[in-house]
Amino acid sequence: MNLIYHSQSSAAGEAGQAVEIGLDDAETLHVLHPDQLVAYQGPPAGRQDSLFDLPGLLRKKKLIRTRLTGPGRLWLALPPGFHLTSLPVGECEDLLFEYRNVLYYTEGIGMKTVWQQAKRSLLTRELVKMKFDGTGTIGLLTSGPLVPIALDPQTPLFADAGSLVAFPENARVELAVYGNHLASQHMRYQWKLTGRGYALLQAGRIDRRFEREFEQDGLLKRVLREVVPFGGVWFR
């Protein structure tokens, strides 16, 4: 399987990107976000769509996934600001993934759904996560570069809840905040992780408030917004 990236920046500074994937004879790719498939070159019978099983329906909230068999070529569109990373499954067999980050996986990989604890499901609104084994690669779609961070059994890692892409199945994971009162009051929810192995985070989360403050706000206005009660209302 060969990957070629195509990118172009617009006048607004947003970079549109697509990835071109070449499949040799008998190579097979499973695409979990078929709407991102913008072009396919090959025999019409090379594409086969199928229904998810029940856990898949709960996870994807969609009915269809696409199986593409070579020889052929396909083009997948990547949203502006997003990155595609191909990972060998052998490096991440113990990881649980968010469904939305998995764009594709190759033939020879087994995909298993892992039901989440009831308390965690209520907080995240995700009933199941994805786990892979076998031989091949998976394509992860992330907002920004993918960052691996080693976990420790004693010292917790606090990771932004919206940035966490994957974590080890046996890790202890709790929803938390940290720091003093002011810190915990203003931060997003964090996942508190302890254990062994690596967590994967996406490091390009878009923060519209930060962009606005960076471009327009002076230091005084930012201090007033943070310190004064209802400062976010009075000092826009």
Residue type, 154: Q
Q: What is the mean pLDDT of residues 91-101?
A: 86
pLDDT at 234 over 60: no
Residue type, 207: D
Q: CA 90 from chain center: how many Å?
A: 19
Pair 20, 3: CB distance under 8 Å = yes
Buried b / exposed e along 111-146 (16+ C-beta atoms within 10 A):
bebeebeeeeeeebeeebbbbbeeebbbbbbbbeeb
Pair 22, 46: CB distance under 8 Å = no
Q: What is the mean pLDDT of residues 87-99?
A: 87
Residue type, 210: F
The pTM of this model reads 0.76
pLDDT at 208 over 60: no
